[in-house]
Amino acid sequence: MKKDLNQIFEELLNRYVSSMEQNYQTKYKRAKDKEFVKEELKRATDFMNDWISQASGKGEMFGVFSKMYKRGDDINEIIAHLRGVYGEVNDERSFKRIENGKRITLYISEEEKALKKLALDERKLLKYLIRAIGYVELQKRLPKMFDEKENVSPEKPNAYPIIWSGKKDNKNEFVQLIYGLHKAGLINEGKGEITKIIETLAENLKVDLGKGWQANHSSSIHRAKEDYQPRIFHKIQLAYGQYITEQLTLKKSKK
């Protein structure tokens, strides 16, 4: 089953931002002078955002993308628009210069040629856009990223212990379940970074996902057939059906 480009874009963006955020936090935690490192990372992020927005050609193209993306336009439509504006241009300009009575052919600059090449290569274009908007997202998160009070979850006294008891060798079932709940809008109304949500719930439920959980989940999707349904949902459906039967039987027995 082919993934929608909007879903692919959001997943790749979330992975990139999560990876960068983790990298920032690792540098901050091991720093001897935390304030110095915090300011250093802030300056580096500000520099990248300034460079992306001010770079001629690319900066203008990213500005167009950013406006359309913020409005919630379909990624396919945005990519098609960028391709039409920046990619589908002739190397030879439509107008000519007159010198000494002769018409001189004018060509687009090397910078414009590079931009054209980028706009026509969907894979490289997506990679650039994800990196660019990823730094914008990082800049938004910086104020709270190193707030240790925000990052520490207070322990509640006498909290009831809850542990995921699915098979230890099938952690992908846990990931599939959370993805399903999130896509159905039952967790955070379907908003927020799914990778962070999964990792947070896994930590709370004592699920050791391992480093390759995202790759394993992605691989299970690509190996699946079109009519594939994860077993976890079938298990839940059967189990809840059994629960209903038990409750109805119990109710009849009390009459």
What's the pLDDT tens digit per position in 111-144?
888 888 899 999 999 999 999 999 999 988 888 8
Interacting residues of 150 by C-beta distance below 8 A, sequence separation 6+: 144
Report the residue count for the chain. 255
Domain boundary among 152, 181, 204: 152
Domain boundary among 125, 152, 179: 152
Q: Does 158 share its domain with 135?
A: no
Q: Does 8 share its domain with 121?
A: yes
Under DSSP, is residue 96 helix (H, G, I), strand (E, B) or coil? strand
d(CA 246, CA 88): 65
Q: Does 137 share its domain with 168?
A: no
Q: Does 165 share its domain with 97?
A: no
Q: Does 16 share its domain with 83?
A: yes
Average pLDDT over residues 41-53: 88
Domain boundary among 134, 152, 170: 152
What's the pLDDT tens digit per position in 56-110?
678 888 989 999 998 889 999 999 999 998 888 787 766 666 767 677 767 778 8
Instruction: Report the DSSP beta bridge partners of residue 105.
Output: 96
Q: Does 177 share its domain with 230?
A: yes
Q: Are 17 and 193 in contact (CB under 8 A)?
A: yes
Q: Which domain holds residue 250?
A: 154-255
d(CA 56, CA 61): 9
Q: Does 144 share its domain with 160?
A: no
Under DSSP, is residue 106 helix (H, G, I), strand (E, B) or coil? strand
Q: Does 128 share its domain with 22?
A: yes
d(CA 90, CA 183): 43
Q: Are 179 and 194 in contact (CB under 8 A)?
A: yes
Residue 19, number of CB atoms within 10 A of its CB: 12
Helix/strand number for the chain, H first, E second? 11, 2
What's the pLDDT tens digit per position in 207-254?
888 888 888 888 888 888 877 888 889 889 999 999 898 888 888 777
Q: Does 54 share its domain with 138?
A: yes
d(CA 186, CA 244): 22
Average pLDDT over residues 145-163: 62
- Count of domains forming the chain: 2
Q: What tokens appear for 3 in the block?
A: 């993934």
Task: Output the pLDDT for position 197.
Answer: 92
Q: Does 183 share its domain with 253?
A: yes
Q: Does 5 share its domain with 95?
A: yes
Average pLDDT over residues 150-162: 58
The structure's pTM equals: 0.53
Q: How far is CA 125 from the centre of its chain?
A: 16
d(CA 17, CA 135): 8
Task: Output the pLDDT for position 186.
Answer: 92
